[in-house]
Chain A
Amino acid sequence: MKRPLFLLAGVLSAVLLGACSKSGESGSDGKLTVALLPKSKGNQYFVTCEKGARKAADELGVELLFDGPTNTDPAKQNEIVENWISLGVDVICAACENKDGISTALRKAQDAGIKVVTYDADAQPDARSFFVNQATAKGIGDTLMDTAAELTGGSGEFAVISATLTAANQNEWIKYIKARLEEKYPDMKLVDVKPCDDQKDKAQQETTNLLSAYPNLKAVVAICSPGVPGAAEAVKQAGKAGQVKVLGLGLPSENRAYVKEGVTQAVILWKVEDLGYLTVMAGAALAEGKLAPGATEFEAGKLGTLKIEGDNILLGTPFVFTKENIDEFDF
């Protein structure tokens, strides 16, 4: 009884594969197929990316495939890329969970004539043509510092909550915060940098300590995502909501309640939907020959003209989510 079922399954998958490769061929008739790979497809962040990607695909009239691991899984990512290679898609856009692991698969795709773009998290430079960079360290540092200055009126003490004292990206951001501080805000003073080990509860405790150790503290800047709600809860418990400003890098969804209560003033992140949009725009342009290595600018539909630094297409300065606009975003 089982054998015929297997046979049936075999026939069915052969038919399906045939159908798929046909649609790949139809791509050569003029319709491009762009495949978008998220780190995990259940994650709200990447679901939002896909939303933007769909908009770009509709505008350009290209076919969009969206597939990824259910949970973050580098091996599964490779498997999907292999499938896309045999399907013969025109462009692969990947957010890489494991930089080295996926680069081999992406190189193989390039050898097969597929254009490769990375977004959100990069692969090795020789495994893709461009990286769509959502935010540079300088962009993040400047925006954090400028927002802190704006909220405090440009004077007073502030402290930073970071993930760990050793994380390279965190230290890079702190470097740019300090540079901006020195350059533009002589009346502000960074009194302390506290690590929270990526734990919300630890961020809460560190902020509680900062509040009594520095009675004149004007703002807490959290540069890791669990740090923002942690700092907000501490400020709220101390009864200093509004008096001590809270801002930082995080997801709007995790901070909405505190933003609405007026404890957190600003949550900073790129517009995730725009990241998906730009990625598909760039991928399609690359396949159509409108974008080639060496370009310094890119015309990205509704986003206007964006800068290219080296092989990084820059999404621009991060976006500041506030009480007024946070409800428009659901990631």
Chain B
Amino acid sequence: MTVSGARGMFSAYAPILVVAALLALTPLATSANTVLNAMVLALLVALAGQGWNILGGYGGQFSFGHAAFFGTGAYGTALLQARYGLNAYVAFAAAIGAGAAVGAAIGFLSFRSGLRGSYFALVTLAFAEVFRIVANASPFTGGAAGTLLKLDVAPGNFQFASRAIFFWIALALVTLVLILTRAIERSRFGAYLVAIRENESAAQALGIDTFKVKLQAITLSAAVTAAAGAFYAQYFLYVNADIAYGAAVSVEALLAPIIGGLGTAFGPLIGTLALHGLAEGAKALTGRIPGIDVALYGALVVLVIAFAPKGLRGLAARLGRGLSTRWAS
């Protein structure tokens, strides 16, 4: 590897490792499970958002139905354990595989039909809804009663007494996907994806196999979001159709990257931390007025879309540039 290549590697991956290392210290800074639980939830949403970001942020394929993958991950790990007595870790891996398979199937069907833009968004939404209804009605998934995992706290069961361990696992997953996303950014595959986002017809004309690239992206994207779902099931030990395939998941998965910065590695993480931080802060400051966090969510989305279309990360970069030019002059 050339020197500049090594330097490039360093500047690409070092920030990820620094952020991960700083976040990893959280359990040492606070032993409050309230904070840790909130952080685990935030990381979960970030992970789901990271999955969405691969397809939506880099590839420009806006999905409104990432719940389909989240839910498959959640149900996958829950059912494999509850019904077939599989080891929790094996079930976790299998659930990610199942999510990826569902992603590939949905991608195959919709991209083959040449669905783009809002049509693709609507089809993914429809798939998630169909999954929700089937999961709600089918006796296999426990119907509307959902699937309950047995509470049996033991490391071998992927159940830990300490919330800190769950936190570190969630952080490890998020970090892994950060690295993966950065690697995609720097790869030929990533360049193809961006080309498709910017102008799909032009990309095709340049010889990019757009169908193949999009299919790879949705599979990867689904696998990441499925990991978030599987982790959810393992953390709360309960899934039902609304939790797994509900529209709320799809919305959260796309909100985080949009707020944080579409098509950037850190976007989803920044977005969720900002949203959740704001919500928790608002709750604490206003003396817990019910619903205040949701109202703030809405306000923040409006503000970001109006004033920072490139997300918080874009806003920060713009402010940074503004300051440096002022100093320079």
Q: A and B bound?
A: no
Q: Give the interface of B toward A (CB within 8 A).
A: none
Q: Give the interface of A toward B (CB within 8 A).
A: none
